[in-house]
Copies of this chain bind each other. A is one copy, B any other.
């Protein structure tokens, strides 16, 4: 799907969602959505705040937190916790569910998919008789072939 189409589709989805839930279609909400979908990377609230402040549109942190809740609720973004006490997010429309490899030295994140995780979820569903809503799988790794192997204490 083209970048342009994605932007257009997510606006449509968000708009319908707001309508359905009797929430107002404010310019701030759409500016936040657009900023998030202008970049596929993971982000935290402060990064989003700074990017928007530096660019065209500036919103308060309170509005960012508020809007992020709405975007989570309509599945346009996903929330992650990669071990720090801080939420990170990513746009989720147009990319399939995936998991994350975290380089413990740099914090860098690589995405991967493995079909076996779906099998595990199926087993959970059958064994416990529950609805599996979602999951998070993070693999923490170290790249051994690095020129500087950090300090060794």
Contacts and interface: CB of A to CB of B under 8 A. Distances in A.
A140 B86 CA distance: 19
A78 to B, nearest CB: 12
A124 B38 CA distance: 29
Given A85-B86, A117-B120, A136 B136 contact: yes
The residue among A87, A129, A137, A143 with the most chain B CB atoms within 10 A of its own CB is A137
A119 B121 contact: no
Number of copies of this chain in the oligomer? 2
Interface stretch (A10-18, A28-36, A108-116): A108-116
Chain A residues touching B, majority SS: mixed
Nearest to A125: B141
Contact of A133 (B119, B133, B141): B141
Given A83-B81, A116-B116, A116-B119, A133 B124 contact: no
14 contacts: A79-B83, A85-B85, A101-B130, A116-B119, A120-B137, A124-B141, A129-B143, A130-B141, A131-B143, A132-B139, A132-B141, A133-B141, A135-B137, A135-B139
